[in-house]
Amino acid sequence: MQAAALDWLQKNHEGIIHGLADLVAVQSISTDGEHQTEIERTAALTCDQMREAGLLNVEMLKVGNSLPYAYGEWMEAGPNKPTVFLYAHHDVQPINFIEQWKSDPWKLTRRDGRLFARGSADDKGAISAFLGAIAAYRKTGNQLPVNIKMVVEGEEEIGSKNLMKFFDVHKKKLQSDVIVVCDTENIEVGLPCITYSLRGIVALNVEVTTARIPVHSGMAGGAVPDAALALNVVLSKLFAPNKPLPVPGLYDKVRPLTDKEKAAFRKLPWDDAKFRQELGVLPGCTFAMEDGLGVYEQTWRRPSATVIAQEASSIKGASNQVLPKASAIVSCRIVPDQQPADVVAQMQAYLSANPPYGCEVKVTQHGAGCDWWMTDPNGPAFEAAMAALRVGFDRDPVGIGCGGSIGFVGPLAELFGGAPALLIGIEDPASNAHAPNESLHEGDFKKLMASLVRLFDNLGKLTNKQVK
């Protein structure tokens, strides 16, 4: 059955690519609130593709005022076989820096062994990979080795604000034994990775006020305190090149790496020049990481603080005024075993202390944020995944961390009674997710689908009680 499925994948690759092209053609941007029609359309298209792949009981679901989810299942493997929960999302980021795109962002374009389009890697490629592996079984022997439940979310790029409510409302429908997510990275092309730790995120709004009204800079410049300058003085307190952030208490609960993890990180491939090139770091800029740490340790297991937005007045509408207010959003990534509430309190105390000019500094939490997640990458389900990736990529897979956040993984695993969560990479450092020229490596896309076919087969050799 597995051999026939793998053969089907090879013979029908162009059809799978066509399906991905149809998905990325829909401008399902969730971040601006202006593409509701397109998001509805891509959810409906995902449902159509689920039916074509062989999933049953396909439907479009909503909870409250959420954007639409696509759901499909195949539960014919038998009650003792594992039920595998597949997650992906069909919403995408907006098109930024359009002048830097080398091809139409809404048209899947082959170039240099890659598939370019917004959403090709994050995360419509995962939809196509899952459905390709499912179809490979359903179109050949008609039977899957495992039961499948698949959810494709429509608001991941805006923080999955309704996802936990969705899981709670549909808990019985979604109950599964193993979770598989393809929304993470392989650290290099051709190297299969399973992510076992994620940083959490806490955002803070920092608002500085120096006066009640703006005043003419000729009449009062140099006398009235400048809120924009004051804000930047406050933010500069977070500037600590090559050292830990100087926030009292911030590192008190940070879980140190074990010797085994340090050794494993040191063995991972690394190319400094390639990293700079792929992330567009200017030649004269030094890295910000702490002395003695590599990028993996810094971005996977150390906290960070990044100014992601800053506002005083618009450049387009600039006027010769001393500004009375300025604000910024600081995004903090948190790691095991930090507590979000502690980080908020620590940042509030630090950024508010000793304000320039004695100005008013107000620091409040911005949005809900999410907690970090970490699991033990061992056990039957992980072994099944490692074995599948090893054959699918013809290379030993590695366990890695991730600097990003996927807030639902921990709570969903708990909801499913401690189900193992397999976060299998689909992106790579050149994928440019959220950025111009987003792309998916086509060779790795093929290997991922072949690995998923093998993963279903490996899990199917276990009972539903054996996978945890």
What is the CA angle 442-189-298, rounded to 5? 135
Look up residue 331 and give its amino acid.
Answer: S
Report pTM: 0.91
**pLDDT of 358:** 97
Cα(397)–Cα(158) distance, integer angstroms: 31
Dihedral class, residue 33 (left if φ above 0, else alpha if ψ from -120 to 50, else beta): left
Cα(222)–Cα(382) distance, integer angstroms: 63
**pLDDT of 179:** 98
**pLDDT of 383:** 98
**pLDDT of 317:** 86
Q: Which fold has domain 2-198+372-460?
A: Aminopeptidase (3.40.630)
Beta-carbon contacts of residue 200 (< 8 Å; ≥ 6 apart) = 333, 334, 335, 338, 340, 369, 370, 371, 372, 373, 405, 407
Q: Which tens digits make up the pLDDT trace of 34-90?
A: 999 999 999 999 999 999 999 999 999 999 999 999 999 999 999 999 999 999 999
Closest Cα partner for 186 from 455, 409, 381, 395?
A: 395
Per-residue tens of pLDDT for the chain, all 468 residues: 899 999 999 999 999 999 999 999 999 999 999 999 999 999 999 999 999 999 999 999 999 999 999 999 999 999 999 999 999 999 999 998 999 999 999 999 999 999 999 999 999 999 999 999 999 999 999 899 999 999 999 999 998 989 999 999 999 999 999 999 999 999 999 999 999 999 999 999 999 999 999 999 988 999 999 999 999 999 999 999 999 999 999 999 999 999 999 999 999 999 989 888 888 899 999 999 999 999 999 999 999 999 999 999 989 888 999 999 999 999 999 999 999 999 999 999 999 999 999 999 999 999 888 899 999 999 999 999 999 999 999 999 999 999 988 989 999 999 999 999 999 999 999 999 999 999 999 999 999 999 999 999 999 999 999 998
For the chain, which residues make up each domain, given as ranges?
2-198+372-460, 200-254+303-365
**pLDDT of 280:** 85
**pLDDT of 277:** 87
Cα(346)–Cα(368) distance, integer angstroms: 17
Cα(276)–Cα(274) distance, integer angstroms: 5
Under a CB-based contact definition with an 8 Å cutoff, are residues 295 and 274 in contact? no
**pLDDT of 368:** 84
Q: Which fold has domain 200-254+303-365?
A: Alpha-Beta Plaits (3.30.70)
